[in-house]
Chain A
Amino acid sequence: MSWIDIGAIDDIPLRGARKVKTKLGCVAVFRTDEATVFATSNTCPHKGGPLNEGIVHDNKVTCPLHNWVLDLESGEALGADEGRIETYAARVENGRVLIEASLLGRQAA
């Protein structure tokens, strides 16, 4: 898989998230631990709430609009709610955050 560097890990607050604009729509990059990140679609499956503004706990985020809780590993809504967000590969290397290059919206050469 090829990767793209989107910034420093310290630019994402611990237990917080930042938004990344891509050709495939807005992606949220979550930092759930010192050096653990997850990337998902930023759009809540319920009514489109911006997930990068939610409260991050464990490997989950709570949507800021109506409190759906989404699992960042599987992308599934938890509890009684049904829905799913797209998940993307993301990792931390030497203090930099990398996400899968497919998010550039073009075919790898």
Chain B
Amino acid sequence: MIQALTHEDVRRLIKSQELQSQEAVWQELGWKTRNGCHVCRPAINYYLIADWPVEYQDDPQSRFVNERKHANIQKDGTFSVVPRMWGGITTANELRAIADAADKYNVPTVKVTGGQRIDLLGVKGEDLPAIWDDLTKAGMVSGHAYAKGLRTVKTCVGTDHCRFGTQDSTGLGIKLEKKLWGSWTPHKVKMAVSGCPRNCAEATCKDVGIVCVDSGFEIGVGGAAGMDVKEVQPLVKVATEDEAMEWVVAFVQLYRENAKYLDRPYKWIAKVGLEWVQETLGDEAERARLVAAFDLSQSIYQKDPWAERAKAEEAKKFAPLADLTLEAAE
């Protein structure tokens, strides 16, 4: 039988045959290449991380440069650095640290992003560990602006400041971001929480968007504003913040376990059907299982990649292996 396996087949076989390494996948599923290619390696690495968070070791050599370097490569080979700003909230101290870093490393462009944070563009690869060290010391962590993972949770000011606010949208956004950051997903995941249907956080075009109303929280999924523009589809309406958190986490985990690598939630939902997603998540026991599986994965993967790589042992890998231009002339 020589028939190409689909990604969905591969995911099913990784689970059912308990394949826990890339070598096992290549061997058992009859790969024709020696060790895959730039298309399959990141996908298989993701599937193994998602299905075997405890057993499998993440392979940096099977990741695109951005996820390996924890920064976005730019067209001139420099990188961009985006620290996390929980729910779009920052402080004078954080802003000072960002401004100091911009000065110290001669950052040519400082840009406010659409995800409510600040992008330092044009940082040299060799400077990355040092700039991370400075930002880490000011209490910031990676914003994962380069990751197939949780990006931002955009919020409006909600009941704290707005006269129309029905719930604490900023607070819920911060809670969601603190819960979900550091998780790897099939594609990037963007979220938002708006404090009322006026929707200032543009929640209705996010992968997960919450609109607060007087009676609770309307959770929509499968929105997008990229190559395709999609409005979210209603997933569920819940009364409390805790329920909102539970549903969002369970949704993300269901997506992590089932979607094809590089399918945004809207593409995945179009394949499996919103009804199936709603039915699966509507089962309380399954929801609890999904949340527990997500928490287990986070116990391993929710760690700041910048802090780890700012340490001397790791930082030296960002420098050239050798500099022969310094060799003394004879």
Report A's interface with B, CB cutoff 8 A.
4, 6-7, 11-16, 18-23, 26, 29, 47-50, 53-58, 62, 64-65, 67, 69, 97, 103-106, 109
Contact = CB atoms under 8 A, between A and B. Distances in A.
B75 A6 contact: no
Contacts of A23: 324-325
A46 B250 CA distance: 43
B62 interface: yes
B329 interface: yes
B321 A29 contact: yes
Contacts of B325: 21-23, 105
Contact of A53 (B42, B65, B320, B321): B65
B61 A62 contact: no
B188 interface: no
B284 interface: no
B267 interface: no
Interface string B274-307: 0000000000000000000000000000000000
B30 interface: no
Chain B, interface size: which category? 20 to 34
Contact of B75 (A4, A19, A47): A47
Nearest to B76: A48
Contact of A57 (B35, B321, B330): B35
A57 B41 contact: yes
B37 interface: yes
Interface centre among A23, A29, A54, A57 (most CB of B within 10 A): A57
B321 A11 contact: yes
Contact of B34 (A4, A49, A58, A104): A58
B70 interface: no
Interface in B69-91: 69, 73, 75, 77
30 contacts: A6-B322, A11-B321, A14-B61, A15-B35, A15-B61, A18-B317, A20-B324, A21-B325, A22-B325, A23-B324, A47-B75, A50-B125, A53-B69, A54-B38, A55-B42, A55-B61, A55-B64, A57-B33, A57-B37, A57-B38, A58-B33, A58-B35, A65-B73, A97-B321, A103-B324, A104-B324, A105-B324, A105-B325, A106-B330, A109-B330
Contacts of A55: 37-38, 41-42, 61-64
B35 A54 contact: no
A49 to B, nearest CB: 7
Nearest to A11: B321
Nearest to A69: B38
A64 B33 contact: no
B61 A13 contact: yes
Contacts of B35: 15, 57-58
A47 to B, nearest CB: 7
A102 B147 CA distance: 40
B179 interface: no
B324 A13 contact: no
Interface string B177-217: 00000000000000000000000000000000000000000
A23 B325 CA distance: 5
Contact of A62 (B34, B37, B60, B322): B37
A22 B324 contact: yes
B115 interface: no
Nearest to B69: A53
Contacts of A67: 38
Contact of B324 (A4, A12, A15): A4
Contact of A12 (B34, B37, B321, B329): B321
Given A57-B33, A104-B327, A19 B77 contact: no
Contact of B65 (A21, A26, A54): A54
